[in-house]
Amino acid sequence: MSDEEQGTGRSGLDRLSSVNLNLLVPLLALLEERSVTRAAERVGLSQPAMSHALGRMRRLLGDDIVVRQGAGVRLTPRALELIGPLREALQQTAQVVNFPGFDPARDHRVVTVAMMTPTAFVIGAPLARLVAQRAPQATLRIRTITMPTDAAFTEEGVDVVLMSDALASPYPRERLYDDRWTVIASPDAPREADALELITSLPHVVFDAERRVVPYSVLDEHRVRYRVGQLVSDNLMVAHLVARSSGVVALQRLRVASAMKAVTDLRIEEFPFPLHGVGIDMVWNPHLSDQFFLEWLRGLLFEAAGAL
């Protein structure tokens, strides 16, 4: 390394002596919460103290960080760039100073899990119960998403995304639970009708997406006639509308159908043709370096899935 490069490196480190590094923790809280009030609560500061810290952070970075937009705030482009590197730096710092690992009984962090609405309907309640029992000081944040993106990790502070195995991801994944497609019908559907008769005789409630769910392509291959009666843009609403309507049918994953049947009457039948199973995978934030926390949350998710 040249003298110039060494000098540059030293000067970069030397500049840290003039920076109040205590500002970095509330800065990360502000970037992730996008609210001065929630960020103050998260790090144990009063709102005036947090506002004062924001002013100091703005002067330090030469950037507004957050700007008002309507009733809320938005992050500046510079602030968005900081989220991932800052989160990773603070996690590594915690390891360097040898904190005694993640203690769920005392930790006050926000645990953020992203998933689609039907998955949240299936696993959200058992996961919330376990977090409340095992980490009573923590906050569980469930973010419902339509399609996972890198921004979930870099901008929204998501620890893990629960996503269908049919969706692609550049990151390693691990199966959380398996599922399969079923036929669901309204309670007043003819009792003597089997699954195939329900499919061909009743109007379908269908998730309104660019492509229909896989079982419909199987029905098309077998030249099964069916009629679409309702289109709905929220996948979870498919099961709800079938349960609360008269004389309709739909194709739905068993886990969602079973969770809906627990709160309202719903008929569930096996899909009448061979079909590959489906599953929900865990995709972890690649910037998450706290292995104690990661293993704890991983075990908690498996426990919640095992209770389904």
Q: What is the pLDDT of residue 16?
A: 63
> Would 71 be classed as within a structural domain?
yes
Tell me, what DSSP letter sits at residue 71?
T
Q: What is the pLDDT of residue 4?
A: 44
284 phi/psi in degrees, rounded to 5: -90, 150
Banded model confidence at residue 1, pLDDT cuts 50, 70, 90: very low
Residues 206 and 143 in one domain: no
Cα–Cα distance, 161 to 145 (Å, whole number): 9
Q: CB-hemisphere CA count at 13 Å for 210?
A: 1
Cα–Cα distance, 51 to 30 (Å, whole number): 10
Cα–Cα distance, 201 to 229 (Å, whole number): 11
Residues 154 and 288 in one domain: yes
User: Based on the structure, what is the number of domains in the chain?
Assistant: 3
Banded model confidence at residue 2, pLDDT cuts 50, 70, 90: very low
Instruction: Let me know: does 250 contact 235? Beta carbons within 8 Å.
Output: no
Interval 212-260: pLDDT, tens: 888 999 999 999 999 999 999 988 899 999 999 899 999 999 999 999 9
More confident residue, 32 or 1: 32
CATH number of the domain enclosing 206? 3.40.190.10
Q: What is the pLDDT of residue 281?
A: 95
Q: What is the pLDDT of residue 97?
A: 64
Q: Which structure tokens are listed for 33? A: 């919460």
Residues 289 and 271 in one domain: no
Residues 117 and 251 in one domain: no
Cα–Cα distance, 45 to 209 (Å, whole number): 45
Residues 197 and 251 in one domain: yes
Q: Considering the entire predicted model, what is its pTM?
A: 0.68
Q: What is the pLDDT of residue 160?
A: 93
Q: How far is CA 250 from CA 19, 199, 272, in A?
A: 60, 8, 13
Q: How far is CA 161 from CA 97, 105, 143, in A?
A: 29, 24, 9
More confident residue, 67 or 200: 200
Q: For residue 122, what are the domain limits? A: 110-162+280-306
